[in-house]
Structure 1
Amino acid sequence: MRPKTRILLNLARTRLHRLRSRLSLRNRLVVSHVMVLLVALGAMSASKELMEGPGRHHFDPDVVVKAGLGLGVLAAVLAAVVVSRFLLRPLDTVRAATHQLARGHYDDILDVPGEPGLAALVRDVNSLAAALADTERRRARLVSEIAHEMRTPIAILRGQIEGMADGIFVPDDAMFASLTDDLDRLRRLADDLSSLSRVEEGAFTLHRAPTDVTELARATAERLRPQFDDARVSLDVTAPGPVTVDCDPDRITQVLVNLLGNALSACDPHGRVSLSAHADGDPSPGAVVRVTDDGIGIDAGDLDRIFARFERIEYPGRPAPAGGSGIGLTIARGVARAHGGDITAESPGPGKGATFTLRIPREPA
């Protein structure tokens, strides 16, 4: 092939690619139909000229007409096949990508074409692949985290049972009480994991009823007050009411118990925790409950990370509580958001305490 001819072919390909990128899928379909029609008309016109030309007396008119129609149909079919391949090539690429997604291959990223309609489709497929890949990574991480969380109490139970079997430990009331505590920890972990699964899937049911949040906060605080007294941490409650919202009282109690328990764990002896509940009309009418402590505080970079599952923030000289599963705040935020509200955390910094704010709308969205 001559260099000039090669240059002309490359120029034609470039212009064809630019034209294809500028045409939408709808315009491509219109152009394809027009091309097929023009090819058919051209074939029929050629047959007509053959019939009316100088050598027309050598051909039977019926035969020429039939031949022209057949040639037109054949040319139209061939043109339709070529044009359909031109149109469906990017769609075939997207279809192959979806098949790869169905097989679990989430790392294949499609190149975004220039055509706007197909580009939007390809971007959606790429976003779907990224979301599925993230879900798969979270699932694998969750399985690993669950195995890690269950390994410690199971190892302790096994060591205690083997110790009693070997005569190292005496099977007395204290030993059985220790075994019971470890079994209770496993049961609590199983219950927390079940609640976490329902929260993340949005599968749990809320039994809503008109509830005075201030009375619920006071009752929860009084129920937990003996634990604060044992730890020599003062608990102040400010809950002028009533503030009635449509919520699940058992679930909200679960959230308050978690927030108060975390505040108690964060405080040293002679520390202080305050609980307040009041109505709030910004940004929507509802109830606001705040739990504030003067304990270890939270670093600014950890204010959102503490709501992630199995995240237990540790500071030098102050490890996280050994009995916690690290998913209490995850469950609490999930319950709050299921009500249409949320939980946020604020802290001036490590050693300066923290404030957790629960917001519940007055009525479900």
Structure 2
Amino acid sequence: MVLSHVMVLLLALAAMAAISALIEVWLGLDDIEGDVVLQIGLLFGLAAAFPASVALSRFLLRPLDRVRAATRRLAEGHYDDILELPSEPGLAALVEDVNTLAAALADTQRRRARLISEVAHEMRTPITLLRGQIEGVADGIFIPDEAMFASLADDLHRLQRLAGDLSSLSRSEEAAFDLHRKPTDVATLARATAERLRPQYDDQTVALAVDAGTPVVAFCDPDRVTQVLVNLLGNALAACDSHGHVALSVHTEPSPGHHVIVRVMDDGTGIAEHDLERIFHRFERLEHPGRPAAAGGSGIGLTIARGIARAHGGDITAESAGLGKGATFTLRLPQEPAPEGGMSQDPADSIDPPAPERR
């Protein structure tokens, strides 16, 4: 832009100088008429500068016009346009950002389409079963006994859990947490949650070790933290084969800030390095060759868990040495009171053990 201004200025000065020299030579004007020569030269200089500035402006604005056209197409839902990078560094950075935005929106669109498919699939099975069972009872095919009502209750529970997960996901992405914080011994929560899930570990012959003997107090919402622990322990169980091992530990970390650290370590399937962040995206469920995918998971448990942690002013991170080498999930919660904000407790939001979906 600066160079274009300089070029127009130089062109105007050159035109003024050339016209002034020609007038003096052709007409033989003396010094007294120099003002007239200067005025005429100025007019010719302006006349030369105007078309030059228009041409340069169009040249400079052409990449911006392409960017504007691309953003309009993005607004219309066309995310497959990739702009060529111009030679000018500033414009190239802008075009690169627009291309990045288009790729992100395209990925969001794919996730939204998969969301509809996943929700429809999750709801179709229990609704079909409920309809068939109710129609069977109405036609006298099925006997309305205790087993029938238990089956109906299970299908209703699946629908309720899915509705609760979707409600929690919506609030998480809107950062609409309204947590009921109070001083809570996280070590006690961890032990209680581990004992709650221990029968599932025993059924799959997976060892669960708990290192949470020392009281560790944090200012948090105990129900929501329990929800996070259930998700992490459920995922660790799903990742392990028979005779696997899972370790749950709780301790404090004085530096860089006073935090409660909860770690869930397993020796299961592990996570590839490029998936360590992707697993926290909604509706992401990792698949491993030769290993059946976990059934019933909605793929949003870790998304909700991280949202809860961040609403407390903490976070959840994942580490893994690679596929087949286990994984470690770390929950950090500040011990000091954090600013209020977030998700209110909704009756539909369940903290029942979810079907794991990490792997």
TM-score category, normalised to shorter length: 0.7 to 0.9
> What's the % identity of the aligned pairs?
61
Q: Which amino acid aligns with 1:82?
A: A
- For the residues of structure 2 that align with 1:333 and 1:306, how far apart are their CA atoms? 11
Structure 1 residue 194 corresponds to structure 2 residue 170: no
Matches within 5 A, 1:209-228: 209-224=182-197
Partner Cα distance (2:319, 2:158) in 1: 27
Matched residue, 1:127: 100
Superposed, which structure 2 residues align to 1:329-348 within 5 Å? 329-338=302-311, 339-344=313-318
Structure 2 partner of 1:92 = 65
State the distance in 2 between where 1:181 and 1:220 align.
22
Taking structure 1 as the reference length, the TM-score comes to 0.72
Residue 224 of structure 2 aligns to which amino acid in structure 1?
R
1:159-178 alpha-carbon deviations (Å, 9 max, x no partner): 21222233321233432332
Structure 1, 263-272 or 233-242: larger mean CA deviation: 263-272
SS in structure 2 at match of 1:152: helix
Question: 1: distance between equivalents of 2:293 and 2:37?
Answer: 93
Residue among 2, 7, 11 paired with 1:35: 11
Q: Distance in 2 between matches of 1:265 and 1:94?
A: 47
AA of the residue aligned to 1:340:
G
Do structure 1's residue 278 and structure 2's residue 278 form an aligned pair? no
Flag the structure with larger Rg.
Answer: 1
| 2: CA distance, partners of 1:237 / 1:325 | 27
Q: Distance in 1 between matches of 2:54 and 2:279?
A: 59
Report how far residue 43 of structure 1 moved.
4.8
CA contact (8 A) 2:272 2:322 kept: no
1:149-228 aligned at under 5 Å gives the runs: 149-224=122-197
Q: Shift of residue 358 of structure 1?
A: 3.1
Q: CA deviation at 1:221?
A: 3.5
Deviation at 1:271, TM superposition (A): 8.1
Shift of 1:191: 0.6
- The change in CA–CA distance for 1:31 and 1:324 in structure 2 (over 3 A counts) is same
RMSD (Å) for aligned C-alpha atoms: 4.1
Q: In the TM superposition, what is the alpha-carbon distance from 1:267 to its structure 2 partner?
A: 7.5
Deviates more, 1:132-141 or 1:255-264: 255-264
Query: What's the offset of the Cα at 1:42?
Result: 4.6
What secondary structure is seen at the aligned counterpart in 1 of 2:233? helix
Task: Give the direction of change, closer, same or farther, for the CA distance of 1:41–1:207 in structure 2 (3 Å limit).
Answer: farther
**CA deviation after TM superposition for structure 1 residue 185, in Å:** 0.9
Partner of 2:81 in structure 1? 108
Can you list the C-alpha shifts for 1:204-253, whole angstroms capped at 9, x where unaligned?
34444443321222333455567768888776543132223343332211
Which structure 2 residue ranges, 5 or more long, are not aligned?
Answer: 340-359
- 1:60-82 CA deviation, whole Å, 9 max, x = no partner? 99999887665554433333322
Letter in 2 for 1:166: D
RCO higher in structure (CA 8 A, sep ≥6): 2
Deviations 1:297-327 (A, max 9, x none): 32555974765536275786x8566454343
On the 8 A contact 1:298/1:347 being kept in 2, the answer is no
CA distance in 1, matches of 2:51, 2:133: 81
Distance 1:96 1:271, change over 3 A: closer
What residue identity is the alignment partner of 1:152? T
| 1:298 alignment partner in structure 2 | 269
In the alignment of these two chains, the number of paired residues is 332
